[in-house]
């Protein structure tokens, strides 16, 4: 697995993580981290709405807050402490966007970094109990595939714009 960029945030030290995924793609032109996030979330993968509905229905039985999924919208100038859908913005800078969700079962951090015409998504998780561990088994597998597929869609959309 690739190493996270030096600017990426992790939810805990590497040796304390239950899950770590680092995926990266080349960009045809520079993007800021928030702009990259907006482009990634503008058109969620078609099955994501159903996946979040299943996740919410199962997880709610264990006291986990329903998250509903990605809306593709946000307030004009988000800042640290604001929400992007179900994520809390912990850090926002031109080249770093750090988002978290924390509950009694697990802590999730997704860090979007850009620089040198490269976009990297670093996702890290700590679990607090058996439900958090069980939750991460299917979610960990699905997350990797979802990021790969989302990057593929973004890559093709950016390539079209770069050709213009």
Instruction: For residue 11, tell me if it sits in a domain.
Output: no
Nearest to 112 by CA among 26, 19, 22: 22
Instruction: For residue 87, tell me if it sits in a domain.
Output: yes
Instruction: For residue 150, tell me if it sits in a domain.
Output: yes
Instruction: For residue 1, tell me if it sits in a domain.
Output: no
Instruction: For residue 50, tell me if it sits in a domain.
Output: yes
Report residues of the chain scoring pLDDT below 50. Answer: none
Looking at residue 32, its pLDDT comes to 95
Question: Cα torsion at 37, 40, 46, 48 (round to 10°)?
Answer: -30
Instruction: For residue 112, tell me if it sits in a domain.
Output: yes
Number of domains in the chain: 1
The secondary structure element, H or E, covering residue 139 is helix 130-163
Looking at residue 156, its pLDDT comes to 85
Instruction: For residue 9, tell me if it sits in a domain.
Output: no
Q: Where in the sequence is the domain holding 153, given as residue range(s)? A: 16-163
* CATH (domain of 102): 3.30.530
Looking at residue 53, its pLDDT comes to 61
Looking at residue 158, its pLDDT comes to 84
Looking at residue 42, its pLDDT comes to 79
Instruction: For residue 105, tell me if it sits in a domain.
Output: yes
């Amino acid at each position: 697995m690739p190493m996270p960029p030096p600017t990426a945030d992790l939810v805990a030290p590497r040796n304390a993580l239950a899950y770590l995924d680092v995926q990266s793609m080349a960009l045809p032109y520079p993007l800021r981290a928030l702009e990259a996030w907006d482009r990634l979330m503008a058109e969620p993968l078609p099955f994501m709405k159903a996946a979040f509905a299943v996740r919410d229905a199962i997880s709610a039985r264990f006291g986990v807050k329903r998250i509903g999924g990605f809306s593709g919208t946000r307030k004009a100038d988000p800042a640290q402490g604001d929400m992007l859908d179900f994520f809390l913005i912990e850090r926002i800078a031109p080249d770093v966007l750090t988002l978290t969700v924390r509950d009694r079962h697990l802590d999730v951090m997704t860090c979007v970094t850009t620089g040198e015409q490269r976009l990297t998504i670093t996702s890290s998780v700590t679990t607090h109990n058996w439900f958090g561990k069980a939750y991460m088994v299917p979610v960990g597998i699905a997350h990797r595939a979802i990021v790969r597929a989302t990057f593929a869609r973004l890559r093709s959309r950016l390539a079209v714009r770069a050709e213009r």
